[in-house]
Chains A and B, each alone.
Chain A
């Protein structure tokens, strides 16, 4: 039971990482990041059950709250990028220079 849950979590996380690394569309990358977050959440729940402690579940609630806020900010940034560049393809955008 626990190993299946962790395996599933790892698969989800890897899919998220690969998506972040390979895709160019900002929205897709953003969704992949959410996928990674939820993979971690799944690990938390599984381990919380394994240890018989509520700590993991509390963490999950925190992560979901933060993720909601992050989603709001992230989507806002993407919208403003789109307004500026008329595109959300990250190949065209290299603003993150020091």
Chain B
């Protein structure tokens, strides 16, 4: 402990902005407190209850009172025409405080980052302890934050992209009665997310991990007066519990075997677990179970598509850019453990690849624009796990960063589209689906800025050079191919199969997924922005671009999506500084990467050019295929659509996974709980036997006692005499 403190004092970051790292989560937390307090003030003079409930009341009120706001002038929050009536009384304060705390956090993050740049080579993390959190027996956990290259990448993404999304949310949400509540939750989410990535030990990380889960739940169910939204929030929360169980078990195993949970100490003593031992594999797989829950991998991905019930900025921030990538971060952070277990590594890569492929096929046939993006997110998260599973931690993190850019852009762009659609339908009082692509079409004429930016993001996610997604996806696929050729994973066996063969298959499936990605993204763009408009004659006149407060953040994200690839250029394409991010992350994940990859030569070979060429060809072919096959002109609006048949229908119904889970797990659980646990055990044994049984027993004993008490003095005298004899006898003959 003393040595640690000394080490902190002499750390190159000790006297820099990094010493204020504790403020990073506190600033958004302050925003949460302010906005949370505002949200407790009822929005309207009548109805002191919840703002949303008050909104309902007000809707009826508005017609009756002359001073009430004019319905037609209020666009309201898209996707939610029931609640939006009027602005909250303190919307102006929230508009300032909500994004401002994010700007301040981002500024502090940049200051710390600049300090790290100034400090030069930094091979040990800067750990700042605030107080002892849990001290019992051998367990000693401090509330400590850790600043290193990996956490800094995450902090910059969270605060940077978070700031843009907060600014976007002003325009998107300000007509919602729950506006301050929305920003309170959003600020709280950022605070917990920063705790997650800054925590210096697994328990502190876990606090953030659970905190973001809570905020996710609150924001998915933001419009909780619709039962479907509340159910979606519950589903996300419950599915994540399964993953968190795995996380906890892994932590317990680590503590039982190593006696510590600090990242630095676990990393130092991890080798005592034994290379490729059953123990380290178990720990890694339990951690991965946690990741599969949080990052929506097979088989726990089902909550993420439903999470689209939340407002679109929430989908962009939490369910695309930051929270769902926490699992990738956790594996990169635990690289020292995963590098010791090739079995766990290949498992992560296999699950990631299968998820990527599975979700991409579903994305092919979705009609809800946000559902397409949701499955696309699951698919891209699968790519990230493919990367970190193959021990390419830098490549996985690179894809995390670029995905944060282009997926946030896609979600915010779709939000902008939904906003316009919703406003148009609101003007005419229509109840058509504002999120269904069959009701869109031809929007490029009405929303040119969104149109161009969405195409940039689409090209990025499809992997077309020179956009960011091309470089990051190529990095992952190239790493998987390289691991298949040589290194610890190629020599390992996985379920009796040679690791090399498994990885070659994964690479091929990765290419197939890239092809599908290009198709479903192009399909989304074609149906949304191209072809004739299907919104409706009356509504068409009201379609318009969103205000600049919303398109501004989109432009910034568009630049990042286009140029993000320069963060980590491959050695084969030296059109700028090569491998910046990889070099930056080297002190954290370099040792783990080397352990998995072996001493492979990094020389550029013709194979690499072939791989790059294949990836580009696949992406271009996918886009061309979609353009050639899909006919937006032939599409009919949602209300006229005919049901699909065969495999198409299976895809549209998402392989019936929700139904299968419902029949195989949920219903047996419900009926088992009702018939066995409730009727049998609770009512039968506990209620009847224990609760009522003890009453019957007491009454019976009392009845016997009352019979003895006859009131006959003679009987009492006999009882006394016999009792006295018994006592005397006991003393005499003991």
A96 to B713, CA, bound (A): 7
Q: In which size bucket is the chain A interface?
A: 10 to 19
Query: CB of A98 within 8 A of chain B?
Result: yes
**B710 interface neighbour in A17, A20, A97, Cβ under 8 Å:** A97
Contacts of B717 in A (CB 8 A): 20-21
Question: Closest CB of chain B to A3's CB: distance in Å?
Answer: 18
Query: Considering the chains assembled together, what is the distance between the CA atoms of A79 and B709 in angstroms?
Result: 25
Residues 26-58 of A at the B interface (beta carbon under 8 Å): none
Closest CB in chain B relative to A25 CB, distance in Å: 12
Closest to B711 in A: A94
Contact check, A94 vs B710: say whether CB atoms are below 8 A apart: yes
* B132 at the A interface (CB under 8 A): no
- Indicate whether A95 reaches chain B with its CB closer than 8 angstroms: yes
- For chain B, the count of residues having a C-beta within 8 Å of the partner chain is 11
- B714 contacts which chain A residues (CB < 8 A)? 21, 24, 90-91
B709: chain A residues at CB < 8 Å are: 97-98
Select from chain B the residue with minimum beta-carbon distance to A22: B714
Complex Cα distance, B683 from A69, in Å, reads 61
Chain B residue numbers with a CB within 8 Å of A17 are 721
Asked if residues A21 and B718 are in contact (CB atoms below 8 Å), the reply is yes
The reply on A93 being an interface residue by CB < 8 A is: yes
Q: In the bound complex, how far is the Cα of B498 from the Cα of A88, in angstroms?
A: 106
The reply to whether A96 and B721 contact each other, CB–CB distance below 8 Å, is no
> Complex Cα distance A97/B716, Å?
11
CB of B712 closer than 8 Å to a CB of A: yes
Known: A17-B721, A21-B718, A21-B721. A90 touches B713 (CB 8 A): yes
**A6 CB, min distance to chain B CBs, angstroms:** 15
Q: Can you name the residue of chain B whose Cβ is closest to the Cβ of A90?
A: B713
Residue of A nearest to B705 (CB): A98
Residues of A within 8 A of B713 (CB): 90, 93-94, 96
Residues of B within 8 A of A98 (CB): 706, 709
Contact A95 B711 (CB under 8 A): yes
Please name all residues of chain B whose beta carbon is closer than 8 Å to the beta carbon of A96 when the two chains form the complex.
711-713, 716
B706 → chain A, closest Cβ, in Å? 8
Residues of B within 8 A of A94 (CB): 710-713
Give the distance to chain B from A86, nearest Cβ to Cβ, in Å.
18
In the complex, what's the smallest C-beta–C-beta distance from B727 to chain A, in angstroms? 15
**How distant is the Cα of A24 from the Cα of B713 in the complex, in angstroms?**
9
Nearest Cβ on chain A to B590's Cβ, whole angstroms: 85
CB closest residue in chain B, given A20: B717
Bound complex: CA A97 to CA B711 (Å): 4
A-B contact pairs, 26 of them (CB 8 A): A17-B721, A20-B717, A20-B721, A21-B714, A21-B717, A21-B718, A21-B721, A24-B714, A90-B712, A90-B713, A90-B714, A91-B712, A91-B714, A93-B713, A94-B710, A94-B711, A94-B712, A95-B711, A96-B711, A96-B712, A96-B713, A96-B716, A97-B709, A97-B711, A98-B706, A98-B709
